[in-house]
Amino acid sequence: MKPRIIRDGVYALGAIDWDRRLFDSLIPLPDGTSYNAYLIHGSEKTALLDTVDPSKMDVLMSQLEDVPEVDYVVSHHAEQDHSGTIPAILEKYGRAKVVSTARARGMLVDLLAIPEERIIPIEDRETLSLGDKTLEFINTPWVHWPETMVSYLREDRILFSCDFFGSHLATTELYASESRILEPAKRYYAEIMMPFRKVIQKNLEKIAAYELDIIAPSHGPLYDRPAFIIDAYRDWVSSPPRNIAVVAYVSMHGSTARMVNHLVGALTERGVAVEQFELATADIGKLAVALVDAATIVLGTPTVLGGPHPNVVYAAYLANALKPKVRFVSVIGSYGWGGKTIEQLTGTMAGLEAEVLDPVLCKGLPRQSDFEAIDNLAASIASKHRAQGIP
């Protein structure tokens, strides 16, 4: 694609990756993604903001064929899907300097072998004049690496936000369709940003001081109504959890599935919404999205070699790493002769600082007494939600 104009002298560059289906060998990409870069021509200097994943280097280089000079390459984030083509840019433009935070400087040297003397470290709120256009740099650490920053183009009131407010969505639309973007943006937040939500809350407050006409992230389309995505982030970060229980499970021979089905029915009867995931086939991205709003997590597992099923261990590890706002956790499942299922799973989720509700484990097939215990667990979840005023 050719460069597309955003404002006079401001262009969207980069590449759409329609076919990529996995990020970091971990994150599913059902809708592909994009790697956005931006070019700003000032009256005196030209700046390129971020680059693209090295797999799409040829796309960006073709977009720069008619650009005779780049004076500055702004690196908001050292991760290679943004910075990976910087060495090629520096080779093409021999006088260009990289602008980054001081912490990013060392990371760019380590990750990409960029000569240290070609990197200009900048401070929080420092500005860079391009002539008739001025970039202000705002440090936003842990969004989602420690060295990250965003840039504000004062004259055009554009926030170049890098991963902040991004979405993994391959689309030719320059600006986000709000009805379409909400799910991939929430998924992106859940998978990448949620572990840092307390820091993100502070960074949301930091950018609130700026008048914004456009937010231009490094993945996905731009926002020409910034309040839409900012309000969504405030809700995901700061609002209390909702009256939702995430029930994620594996069942090898049907016993745990029977328990899960009974629990889902019991919760529904008591007014608790349920998001159910069978972990052998579930999209972990959808599980992450469900965790954004959930008040309770219940993991269901058979016993394998004295402990929980590996897929359930992974779900517990994922929940603990993502740090959602959940307040309660529990475990249900079956065993043949014993084990440490409960201790292992609740220990893996200890970082959530959630209350552990009485688990229900049965030997072999669940019996009437087990179903009654599951009813009690459902009643406890509903009661705990009401007591905490969870809507």
* pLDDT tens-digit series, residues 87-109: 999 999 999 999 999 999 999 99
pLDDT at residue 338 is higher than 90? no
Q: Is the pLDDT of residue 253 over 90?
A: yes
pLDDT greater at residue 23 or residue 338? 23
Give residue 198's Cα distance to chain centre. Answer: 14
Cis peptide bond upstream of 144, omega within 30: yes
CA distances from 95 to 45, 92, 118, 119, 209 (A): 12, 9, 9, 11, 34
Rounded distance between C-alpha atoms, residue 296 and residue 381, angstroms: 8
Q: Which two tokens stand for residue 306?
A: 């004295």
- E strand residue ranges, 158-272: 158-162, 214-217, 244-249
Concatenate the DSSP letters of all residues of 262-314 into one string.
HHHHHHHHTT-EEEEEETTT--HHHHHHHHHH-SEEEEEE-EETTEE-HHHHH
Residue 82 — pLDDT band, cuts 50, 70, 90? very high
* Phi, psi dihedral angles at 356 (to 5 degrees): -90, 120
Q: Is 159 helix (H, G, I), strand (E, B) or coil?
A: strand
The pTM is what? 0.95
pLDDT value at residue 317:
97
Cα distances (angstroms) measured from residue 223 to each of 77, 145, 168, 174: 20, 23, 14, 9
Which among 374, 381, 371 has a CA at the least distance from the CA of 244? Answer: 381
Cα–Cα separations (whole angstroms), residue 120 to 108, 115, 165: 12, 11, 26
Q: What is the pLDDT of residues 27-51, one digit of tens each?
A: 999 999 999 999 999 999 999 999 9
The percent of residues above 70 in pLDDT, for the chain, comes to: 100
With tokens 């999209």, the residue in question is: 283
Q: Can you give the pLDDT at residue 61?
A: 98
* Contact call for residues 120 and 91 (beta carbons, < 8 A): no
Query: Nearest CA to 40 among 146, 123, 158?
Result: 158
- Res. 337: pLDDT tops 90: no
Arithmetic mean of pLDDT, 304-329: 97
Q: Do residues 34 and 18 lie in contact, with contact meaning Cβ atoms separated by under 8 Å?
A: no
Q: What is the DSSP string of 35-74?
A: EEEEEEE-SS-EEEE----GGGHHHHHHHTTT-----EEE
| 258-310 confidence digits (pLDDT tens) | 999 999 999 999 999 999 999 999 999 999 999 999 999 999 999 999 899 99
Quick one: pLDDT at residue 339? 86
* Mean pLDDT computed over every residue of the chain: 97
Q: What is the pLDDT of residue 66?
A: 96
Region 63-79: what's the mean pLDDT? 98
Give the model's confidence band at 68: pLDDT under 50 very low, under 70 low, under 90 confident, else very high.
very high
The pLDDT, as a whole number, for residue 51 is 98
What are the tokens at 320? Answer: 């603990």
Question: How confident is the model at residue 1, as a pLDDT?
Answer: 82
Domain 4-238 sits in CATH at: 3.60.15.10
Whether 27 and 191 have beta carbons less than 8 Å apart is answered as: yes
Name the amino acid, one letter, at 311.
N
For the chain, the structural domain boundaries read: 4-238, 244-384
Which secondary structure element, helix H or strand E, spans residue 342, and what is its range? helix 341-348
Assign domain 244-384 to its CATH architecture. 3-Layer(aba) Sandwich (3.40)
